[in-house]
């Protein structure tokens, strides 16, 4: 899909990968709703992008664990720019590292890293099926493909996010609904270093496992890889060569 003139929503757009995605989309001529739990950071990203590309973005505070707040993002996109063509389910949290993760830790991670994707798809896919096109981009993680040391809540919810993206793709792909699923290893954002900062041994090990596995990518590099994948309509996006190698070693056919 050529994203020029298309309407996109990017969740978790106030920082890291989401901020870079919003900027890259706007540079390609898309119109973007930059959404984040932290409304101020979403506004800051939107203003910075608009300084280069006036009028290309609007921002909103939204918690993706609430269906009504996602619906408000869809309404905002429609009133500001028109029907949503692309949805970037990118907001994510690191969660809690070990078996001592509480019920609340599990609920929050499942809500943000998985159910938020399901909520958005339920809102958008029926309209995309009527129009015969739409694009859902899931930010999962290498942790959704490889079993690596680290956060239990993160690994489990990211595996499920990959699975949901794949299910969407195989179920609706032949009716115009495109799906890509992004699975990076280490990206230089606050989230990557949250394990290191947590003071928890497993959390620290999770960060170190990732940072020692290969180069840590910059968010802009990841955004470039995602945009290339969207243009080629590729399902799984693995911007980190090391991830691809590790996955190939596991005998996977996921390098399509
Ligand atoms: P980040 O912490 O820089 O950005 C995440 C953003 O999501 C933050 O701005 C945060 O406020 C927002 N957010 C959190 N909960 C939210 C909610 N309930 N509703 C709306 N927004 C919410 O981290 P990032 O690395 O840019 O993370 C983006 C995505 O990339 C996440 O899904 C993460 O799991 C994934 N990812 C990151 C890495 C990495 O190494 N950084 C690797 C693989 C996957």
pLDDT in tens, 150-187: 688 999 999 999 999 999 999 999 999 999 999 998 99
Contacts of 96 (CB under 8 A, 6+ apart): 102, 105, 106, 109, 151, 152, 153
Quick check: is 154 catalytic?
A: yes
CA of residue 136 to ligand 1 center, whole Å = 17
Angle at 229 between CA 54 and CA 9, to 5 degrees: 40
pLDDT reported for residue 256: 40
- What is the position in ligand 1's atom list of the atom closest to the CA of 216? 40
Would the pTM of this model clear 0.90, i.e. be above it? yes
Contacts of 87 (CB under 8 A, 6+ apart): 8, 9, 120, 124, 134, 135, 136, 137
* Cβ of residue 12 lying under 6 Å from some atom of ligand 1: yes
| Reported ipTM | 0.99
Task: Assign 22 to helix, strand or coil.
Answer: helix
CA of residue 130 to ligand 1 center, whole Å = 31
pLDDT reported for residue 117: 98
- What is the position in ligand 1's atom list of the atom closest to the CA of 42? 9
CA of residue 16 to ligand 1 center, whole Å = 7
Per-residue pLDDT averaged across 82-103, rounded?
Answer: 93
* Cβ of residue 69 lying under 6 Å from some atom of ligand 1: no
pLDDT reported for residue 245: 80
Cβ burial, residue 177 (10 Å; 0-12/13-18/19+): buried
pLDDT reported for residue 255: 45
pLDDT at 208 over 90: no
Catalytic residue among 87, 135, 154, 247: 154
Q: Smallest Cα–Cα separation from 16: which of 37, 7, 1?
A: 37
pLDDT reported for residue 188: 95
CA of residue 177 to ligand 1 center, whole Å = 24
* Cβ of residue 93 lying under 6 Å from some atom of ligand 1: yes
* Cβ of residue 17 lying under 6 Å from some atom of ligand 1: yes
* Cβ of residue 112 lying under 6 Å from some atom of ligand 1: yes
């Amino acid at each position: 899909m050529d994203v020029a003139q298309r309407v996109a929503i990017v969740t978790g757009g106030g920082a890291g990968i989401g901020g870079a995605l919003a900027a890259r989309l706007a540079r390609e001529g898309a119109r973007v709703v930059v959404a984040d739990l932290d409304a101020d950071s979403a506004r800051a990203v939107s203003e910075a992008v608009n300084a280069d590309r006036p009028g290309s973005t609007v921002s909103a505070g939204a918690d993706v664990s609430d269906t009504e707040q996602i619906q408000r993002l869809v309404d905002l996109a429609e009133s500001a720019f028109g029907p949503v063509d692309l949805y970037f389910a990118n907001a994510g949290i690191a969660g809690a590292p070990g078996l001592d993760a509480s019920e609340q830790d599990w609920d929050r991670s499942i809500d943000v890293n998985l159910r938020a994707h399901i909520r958005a798809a339920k809102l958008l896919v029926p309209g995309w099926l009527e129009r015969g096109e739409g694009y859902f981009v899931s930010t999962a993680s290498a942790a959704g493909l490889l079993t690596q040391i680290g956060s239990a809540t993160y690994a489990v919810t990211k595996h499920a996010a990959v699975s949901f993206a794949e299910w969407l793709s195989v179920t609706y792909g032949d009716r115009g609904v495109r799906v890509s699923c992004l699975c990076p290893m280490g990206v230089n954002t606050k989230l990557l270093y949250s394990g290191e900062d947590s003071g928890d041994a497993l959390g620290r090990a999770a960060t170190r496992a990732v940072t020692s596995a290969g180069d840590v990518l910059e968010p802009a590099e990841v955004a470039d890889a995602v945009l290339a994948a969207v243009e080629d309509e590729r399902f799984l996006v693995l911007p980190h060569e090391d991830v691809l190698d590790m996955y190939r070693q596991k005998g996977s056919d996921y390098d399509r």
